[in-house]
Amino acid sequence: MDARQILDTLEAALPQDYRQQAQHYFHQAWYASKQKKHLTASNLYLNVIDIMRKLPTLSVSDSLSLMDTYYRLGNCYFNMNRYDIAAVHYQNALSVMAELHNKHLDSFPGNLYRDAIELNFNLADAKLHLGKNDEAELAYEEAIRVFQHIEPKTEKEKALGDVRFNFRAFREFFEKRTSSEDYLASAEYRENNQRLEQLNNEAVIFQSMGTLSLTPSPQPSHVVTNSIFSPYNTISNSNLEQKDEMDMDDDKLYTP
């Protein structure tokens, strides 16, 4: 059964409750992704997003679900080597997160900062595949900046030290949460790692000279920026409705 047949069957069987429909489509997408049917999964995730966007208002839980769906959709396209579309959906996930951050600034949970780091690494990888090194560097710089806002840090996070000067350990620590073992062992990952490390080393040199700004350059209005945090805000409370760490079932995979 193809994606359209799955959607038609669900449409006929489910009551007209948007959230319930979205949940069923999400589960179907998750199952398709586990079977590496990335095109089917992407169509189903798009259907979830269409439904969520019909809601007159989004609760915190709705926004977290929407963010997670964009993240998974981005990984589907990444695994189909459609890095341009993957980048758009990673940016969309970060945009939803930015809205949450702005509305709940004083109670933004640390796990969402960690999710933002992972999303920025995925975005950087997609941009590297597209040959957009400057944009990849911006995404990586944002990941560094977001890391400073995690309070309290775990012991393993503390052990990373100043991540500007400990690039490889920083990237590997968060990539292990988002990528399959095959991808981490692939030449593709190693090449991206080397290019990002080179960009980071260049940025550190220029920063020591006082010439580097971590503020992204203005972008066209149709581009969603992934910069979401003021460098002067550090959040330690977690009163916001909690989201578990992203269940990384829709990993970035190695697809030779």
Q: Where are the domains of the chain?
A: 1-56, 59-256
Specify the pLDDT at position 186: 77
DSSP one-letter code for 163: G
Q: Is 150 helix (H, G, I), strand (E, B) or coil?
A: strand
Distance separating alpha carbons of residues 163 and 160, to the nearest angstrom: 6
Here the contacts of 108-111 (C-beta below 8 Å, separation 24 or greater) are 108/235, 108/237, 108/240, 109/235, 109/237, 109/238, 109/240, 109/242, 109/243, 110/150, 110/151, 110/152, 110/235, 110/236, 110/238, 111/242, 111/243, 111/244, 111/245
Specify the pLDDT at position 216: 35
Our CA angle for 28, 68, 50, nearest 5°, is 65
Question: Going residue by residue through the chain (256 aa), what tens digit of pLDDT does each one get?
Answer: 555 655 555 444 443 588 888 999 999 999 999 999 999 999 999 999 999 888 888 888 888 999 999 999 999 999 999 999 999 999 999 999 999 888 887 778 878 999 999 999 999 999 999 999 999 999 999 999 999 989 899 999 999 999 988 888 898 898 887 777 777 777 776 777 777 777 767 665 435 333 323 333 333 333 333 444 432 233 333 334 344 434 445 666 544 4
8 Å CB contact between 90 and 70: yes
pTM, rounded to two decimals: 0.73
Specify the pLDDT at position 217: 34
Specify the pLDDT at position 78: 94
Of the candidates 87, 210, 67, the residue with the CA atom closest to the CA atom of residue 139: 87
Specify the pLDDT at position 71: 95
